[in-house]
Amino acid sequence: MNRDRSVDFLVVFFAAALTIHVTPSIGTTEIRIAVSDPVLPFFSIALWLAASPDSRRELVSSVARNKAAFGGLALMTCVLATALVIGWARSGELIRWAVFNKFAGWLILLGYFAVGWALISLRREAAGILFIRALIAAAILQSVLVVAIRALARLGMEWAVRFDSIRAEGLIENPNAFGFFLAISIVLYLALERRARWRSYLLDAFALGVMGTALMLSASRGSWLAISLGLTTLIWLLPARIWRVLPAAALATACLWGLASFGTNKSVEPGTDPPPAGQYWLSRDGFRGGESTLAVRIRMAEEAGALWLKTPVFGAGLGIYYWESAQKPDASPAHLTLHSTPLWLLAETGLFGVLVFGSFFIFCLRQLYPGRNFSSAEPDYRVRAAAFLTLIVFAGMSVSMEATYQRHLWVLLGLGLGVAARRHVKSSHAS
């Protein structure tokens, strides 16, 4: 029992650490690292040591049985390795951003996927539910922090002004990644939490309302598209859940109106220049926007298309867009990377890479689909539904953000596919 509680504590700690990021530099290259990254190997060893011999054998056999899932991951790794070599040949150097940010980062993501899979094999579905709830709790706490700091900053508290930012980024250090994290958390909260008493609606309204407010403060338009797609899918799967969306949306709207209507916006002083292109902030008149980024995104898409046309089958090579953009005299750090997963894959890995990654995405959707009006009381359905909805939100987010490298995405994917694999084995034994 004490061992089980210790493992549960480690699961909660790991989920929380996954949502806290820092951005050190290696030379001139910035690398975003989660606090959970150095913890990952130790957490994996602790899971293995705490498991029973039978659970360990099941984990090993589950990997051997599921050739499609792990074969897909291996094939995607080969695609990126090939693209890295192509980029090296094309640029005449190993592009540091491609080596560290993309390829080494991908290997770390595989570790997160493995942890999600191992949690199910070693600790069963209950551990998956615990991880998801801890992730949502972290989102709520970070949202409370963001909203409180914004409110105190508008009241003129100097320490709050120093911590406030034009676009809320929580502890993830990136407003788009923060928005993506919140979009996933909101959809999963609605899908998984099951309460019926009237007091629970107040709790729902607070939790969802504060996360919704923080989501809007992130000013991440990609996450707004992502959550719209996620909520639409959720309401199609579970139509009754719409009655839990409405009070939370009303509270979020009230919070936004309140933040926009009192105090002075200390984040943008009168007479100063407007924020950089595409950034938004709350003023006394509500949302105002800086210069549109649409023209920049269109130009980047055209450049990506031109890069792809040169080598359409296998792509220009990993990191080539970054490398070529950095050579320009007017290069901006914000415009060195493609802000779209499909565009990035097409330009740097070609049609072959898009086919491999796209096939794996479709495979995952088919494996994870829980069915309409699925039983939210059953742990295996809940974990599969969580992973399925996460992929739907990812699909919306990836249109305007390269969202592949978000760690929570891969843990949730590992959890969901691990449950799907266990369910398939049970069905085979039953037949």
Asked if residue 190 has pLDDT above 80, the reply is yes
Q: What is the pLDDT of residue 133?
A: 94
Residue 143: helix, strand or coil by DSSP? helix
Q: What is the pLDDT of residue 292?
A: 52
CA-CA-CA-CA dihedral for 294, 299, 301, 305, to nearest 10: 160
> Who has greater pLDDT, 330 or 236?
236
198 pLDDT tier (thresholds 50, 70, 90): low
Nearest to 187 by CA among 203, 169, 211, 168: 211
Asked if residue 376 has pLDDT above 70, the reply is no
Asked if residue 278 has pLDDT above 50, the reply is no
Asked if residue 139 has pLDDT above 90, the reply is yes
- pLDDT, one tens digit per residue, over 9-48 is 999 999 999 999 987 766 666 677 899 999 999 999 998 9
> Who has greater pLDDT, 163 or 384?
384
Asked if residue 281 has pLDDT above 60, the reply is no
Could you tell me how many helices (H) and strands (E) the chain has, helices first?
Answer: 16, 6
Q: What is the pLDDT of residue 371?
A: 82
- pLDDT, one tens digit per residue, over 238-264 is 887 766 666 666 777 677 667 655 555
Sign of CA dihedral 329, 332, 337, 338: negative
Residue 289: helix, strand or coil by DSSP? strand
Q: What is the 3-state secondary structure (H, E, C) of 264-287?
A: CCCCCCCCCCCCCCCCEEEECCEE
**DSSP conformation letters of 7-71:** HHHHHHHHHHHHT-EE--EETTEE--EETHHHHHHHHHHHHHHHS-HHHHHHHHHHHHH-HHHHH
**d(C-alpha 348, C-alpha 351), whole Å:** 9
398 pLDDT tier (thresholds 50, 70, 90): very high
Residues paired with 26 in a beta bridge? 29
Share of the chain above pLDDT 90, in %: 45
Asked if residue 84 has pLDDT above 70, the reply is yes
Asked if residue 138 has pLDDT above 60, the reply is yes
> Who has greater pLDDT, 164 or 411?
411
Asked if residue 196 has pLDDT above 90, the reply is no
203 pLDDT tier (thresholds 50, 70, 90): confident
Q: Identify the top-confidence range among 164-173, 268-277, 306-315, 415-424.
A: 306-315
Q: Are 47 and 123 in contact (CB under 8 A)?
A: yes
Q: What is the pLDDT of residue 131?
A: 95
Asked if residue 54 has pLDDT above 60, the reply is yes
**Least confident segment among 134-148, 158-172, 218-232:** 158-172
Helix axes 198-217, 242-261, angle to 10 degrees: 50
**Least confident segment among 69-83, 177-191, 259-273:** 259-273
Q: What's the half-sphere exposure (Cβ side, CA atoms, 13 Å) at 208?
A: 28
